[in-house]
Amino acid sequence: MAVSSVSVLPARVAPVGAAPRAGTGNSVTKVLGVASIVSLALTAWLGLDVSPPDVTQGELVRLIYVHPAAATVCYVGFGLCALASLAYLWPRTRSRRWDRLAAASAEVGVVFCAVTLITGSIWGRGSWGVWWTWDARLTLTALLFAVFVGYLALRRTGGDPEARAKRSAVVAILCALLVPVDHYATSWWTTLHQGNTLTRANPLIHGMQLYTMLLSFLAFGLLFAWLLVHRYRVEVLEDRYEEEGFAAAIAERRAEGVPG
């Protein structure tokens, strides 16, 4: 009896080990990956070689093909995290997949938020002469990065998975309230940071600079989607590992209690 009970364990645990070898990709992620590489390469070529330097900022203006797109995708990630958290808290739509989507979008959003801070710091060094200043936009972006890193840390705490998901959802919604404040910081306060470039009545860039900037938004959007799909599937694998590992542990304990 004891031998037959223990022999069941490999069959229950095997899918967990097999899933990572299968990977998290499929035909959709392959298309997204290829589209991301092509659009990013085209953006890099146009931004570095074809588009002209700026009259005022010179070669430094080429960061405009990275920094605004990264910041926008960062907002999308955090906003999607908040929407997914709302869907999880709503009783009629509560599902584990919304919690997974919230976690995945927040993590990808944090990556792009870090890119935003790094490229913004480089741009600030060239434009203002300093790597960092406690400007309203810069400070709020750094705070946004910090609170979502804290959100991700909260998700790693122990306890009941459903209670943890509810706590995380509430925190995600509160954290996401910083997104519109950060976005409109240059309109609400006097800051060193440049204001809106594209959404104003008279855009500040034209021609090849405008086309390249618009392409950068598409490229970073595709990259975001590719990372999000993969990260969501990692969440699925982690859940499966947790559930099957728990089931295997129970089976092992039961096997220990069965007399030989």
Query: What's the CA dihedral at 94, 99, 102, 103 to 10 degrees?
Result: 170
Q: For residue 98, what is the domain's CATH number?
A: 1.20.120
- pLDDT, position 4: 40
Q: How far apart are CA 5 and CA 254, in angstroms?
A: 8
- pLDDT, position 169: 96
Q: For every one of its 260 residues, what pLDDT tens digit does the chain have, with 9 covering 90 and above?
A: 444 433 333 334 334 333 444 577 788 889 999 999 999 999 999 999 888 887 778 888 899 999 999 999 999 999 999 999 999 999 999 999 999 999 999 999 999 999 999 999 998 888 888 888 888 889 999 999 999 999 999 998 877 888 999 999 999 999 999 999 998 888 887 777 776 766 666 666 778 888 999 999 999 999 999 999 999 999 888 878 776 665 555 555 566 655 55
- State how far the alpha carbon of 212 is from the alpha carbons of 147, 217, 220, in Å: 32, 9, 12
Measured from the Cβ of residue 85, the count of other Cβ atoms closer than 10 Å reads: 29
Structural domain boundaries, residue 112: 2-257
Tokens encoding 56: 């005022």
CA end-to-end distance (rounded Å), the chain? 6
User: For the CA atoms of the chain, what is the radius of gyration?
Assistant: 23
Task: Quote the number of domains for the chain.
Answer: 1
Q: How far apart are CA 260 and CA 46, in angstroms?
A: 73
Residue type, 186: T
- pLDDT, position 255: 60
- pLDDT, position 218: 96
Pair 13, 244: CB distance under 8 Å: yes
The model's pTM: 0.81
In the numeric block, the tokens 């390469």 are attached to 41
